[in-house]
Structure 1
Amino acid sequence: MNWYTYIKDYQSYLRIERGLSKNTIENYSFDIERLCVFLETNQIEVSPVKIKEETLQDFIYAVAKEVNPRSQARIISGLKSFFNYLVFEDYRIDNPLELVESPKTGRKLPDTLSVEEIDRLIEAIDLSSNEGERNRAMMETLYGCGLRVSELIALKISDLFFDEGFIKVTGKGNKERFVPIGMQTQHYIELYRKTVRIHQTIKKGAEDTLFLNRRGNQLTRAMIFTIIKDLASKINLNKNISPHTLRHSFATHLLENGADLRSIQLMLGHESITTTEIYVHLDRRFLKDIVNNFHPRK
């Protein structure tokens, strides 16, 4: 078996047994393919089963000249996962990266927007076009429910439970969760459905997809990024934002207004509470308020 055969088997494992998304699998695969290019460039002929720690260290040193510590850490983590898979499948008896440490990267705080900035973005949407009503409904949903962009474009009409005040969201690893949805967000979704979507010719297979492009098909991730970037440019917002910025803002504003981390974790669909804890670092006043409100010697 050559490298690409092992990679293909690994991709099947990630998709079927771990339930990872196509984007995540591509990211994992990219780092392994980068190692393959390094081996070919340096005329090193060795299989994944026989490669040793020294060769992998040489690759990591070479990568370190091209990328920042955060990217190095991601590459090392991805390769460790690949070799753990080979051990799991009995192709190898050890992981050659087991003792290799990732560089210290620190914790990067996510960018957020104020409520005023979010209002300005939404107010900048051109509502004279059909796409405008759709875009407003999407922006309200991203911010009002804290969705990932992949979750937004996959949202279905059958996932809307407005009578109960929830939507069903399919997140990473095809894990489902119910997220509360406010009346304002419900209003804009219904407005889009009843005034725009109802008049569209819908492609086969997209009948249940909530947000559609002008051809009646599911939107792409890139399209959502473009919409938000264009709105930021329109209001001269001097921040590098993306759909994820609205998700971060959702969590941050909830925390600032007194929501507990466990509730935010459930709504965001975070596997671990440590992922959600990053929002505590955004506003140190939250920690001070906890002591002032709950400690007996405040």
Structure 2
Amino acid sequence: MDYFVKELEKFLAVANLSDKSKAIYSKPLIQFGEFLAEKMDVILNEVHLLRVYQLDYNGIAISYKPLDSGLIDEFLFKNAQSNFSWLSTCRNALGSFFKYLYRNYDFPLLTQQLTFKLVNYKPQKKFPRILNRHELIKFFQSITINSNHLDRDLLLFSLLCSTGCRISELLSITIEDINIEHEMIYIQKTKNKTSHVIPLRNGLAQSINKFCLENSIQSKDKIFQDSGKPLTNEKVYYLMKYYLLNAKLPMVKLHSLRHSFATLMYENGAAITTIMQLLNHKSISSTEHYVQPYYIRNYYIKIPENDLVYRQFKDLL
């Protein structure tokens, strides 16, 4: 085995990686070499993985011990506060490098002996802020008070909240996509590039039909329009923001209504697999991210009576 820098060059030369990946991997590996150089009190070019620990007798070096997993652990723990992307790249780079050493020199596969576990540093997914039941009622109250197109906006947001449909898919539908008798919407092309059938709550199909008749919407026209033109995602988000402000509710993303739908369905006892089908997800893990634990949703609920009790209790302390 050659010196660390030379072995790194050989590894990058034979590794089945793109030039971009090689450049990305080389940076943390060089940092690891510099870490070893500092520990050994030598320059980077003098680092040799078979001579990391020096054994002396009467001040004279008589033999050496190779690198062990402890120093790799120390290096990773030292950089544990770095962002997860760097940690992941570094861990993968070290894994690939030591596999190369194992295959070429039968050097121990030290990365299999580490106590450092990358999974412990993986940031948890953040649940988006969603509207709970009480907030949804206030939101619809705001629509009834402030909308200039009450029938359109009530129907639009009712469909979003009761179907979990994506806004882009909902804005694409025409009368031809509605099965009034069986109360279903047929989406020809979804985000997943597949067709999808959306069941409607009782009476909603008739409401859609009535809305189209009263507004002279033709069979091939988009159902939701603004001044004779198809309504856009941006316009719907503007409307949502306007109604939230007037209801003194926190700003949430338009897509969060889809999360609210999934969470309330789950809370009411719907199976996660059923919700997955309604949301047209390909994997159950995606659906699980949509179903917020009750303690996350309830975190945003403030009850005035409780605040009063807490204040009185505090005064007694």
Q: Is the 8 A contact 1:153 1:219 kept in 2?
A: yes
Q: Is the 8 A contact 1:140 1:188 kept in 2?
A: no
Instruction: Write the deviation string for residues 47-79 of structure 1: whole angstroms up to 9, x where unpaired.
Output: xx7434325887xxxxxxxxx969x69xx9xxx
Q: Which residue is 2:32 aligned to?
A: none
1:27-46 matches, within 5 Å, as none
Give 1:183's aligned residue: 202
Partner of 2:240: 228
In 1, Cα distance between equivalents of 2:224 and 2:140: 17
What residue number does 1:264 align with?
Answer: 275
Aligned to 2:231: 219
Q: Which amino acid aligns with 1:51?
A: K
Shift of the alpha carbon at 1:192?
Answer: 2.5
2:222 corresponds in structure 1 to 209
Are 1:168 and 1:178, in contact at CA under 8 Å, matched by a contact in 2? yes
Which residue of the partner structure matches residue 23 of structure 1? none
In the alignment, which residue of structure 2 is the partner of 1:277? Answer: 288
* 1:274-297 CA-partner distances (Å, limit 9, x unpaired): 111124552379xxxxxxxxxxxx
> Contact 1:121 / 1:232 at 8 angstroms: preserved in 2?
yes
- Distance (whole Å) between structure 1 residues aligned to residue 246 and residue 203 of structure 2: 24
2:143 paired residue among 100, 110, 125: 125
CA pair 54-283 structure 1, distance change in 2 beyond 3 A: same
Conserved in 2, the CA contact under 8 Å of 1:144 and 1:185?
Answer: no
Match of 2:153 in 1: 135
Return the offset for 1:182: 0.6
The structure with the largest alpha-carbon Rg is 2
Q: Quick one: which amino acid aligns to residue 129 of structure 2? A: D
Shift of 1:251: 0.7
Counterpart Cα distance in 2 of 1:190 and 1:128: 24
Query: Match for residue 194 of structure 1?
Result: 213
Give aligned pairs, total: 195
When normalised by structure 1's length, the TM-score is 0.56
Matches of 1:158 and 1:222, distance apart in 2: 25
Q: 2:169 aligns with which of 128, 151, 165?
A: 151
Alignment of 1:6-155 (within 5 A): 50-55=19-24, 104-126=122-144, 131-155=149-173
Partner amino acid for 1:209?
A: K
Equivalent in the alignment of 1:98: none
- What secondary structure is seen at the aligned counterpart in 2 of 1:243? coil
- Cα offsets for 1:210-256 (capped at 9, x unmatched): 11111x2222111111111110001100x221221211111111100
Which stretches in structure 2 are left out of the alignment for 5+ residues? 1-17, 28-81, 90-117, 297-317
Alpha-carbon distance change, 140 to 57 in structure 1, aligned in 2, over 3 angstroms = farther
Cα RMSD for the two superposed structures: 3.4
TM superposition shift of 1:266: 0.3
Q: Does 1:167 align with 2:136?
A: no
Q: Secondary structure at the match of 2:225?
A: coil
Whichever residue aligns with residue 194 of structure 1, its letter is L
Q: Which has the higher contact order (CA 8 A, sep 6+)?
A: 1
C-alpha separation between the residues in 2 aligned to 1:55 and 1:279?
34
CA distance in 2, matches of 1:254, 1:225: 23
Identity percentage over the alignment?
25
> Partner of 1:172: helix, strand, or coil?
coil
Specify the code of the residue in structure 2 equivalent to 1:118: L
> Deviation at 1:270?
0.8
Answer whether contact 1:109 1:282 (CA < 8 A) is retained.
Answer: no
**With structure 2 as the length reference, what TM-score do the two structures score?**
0.53
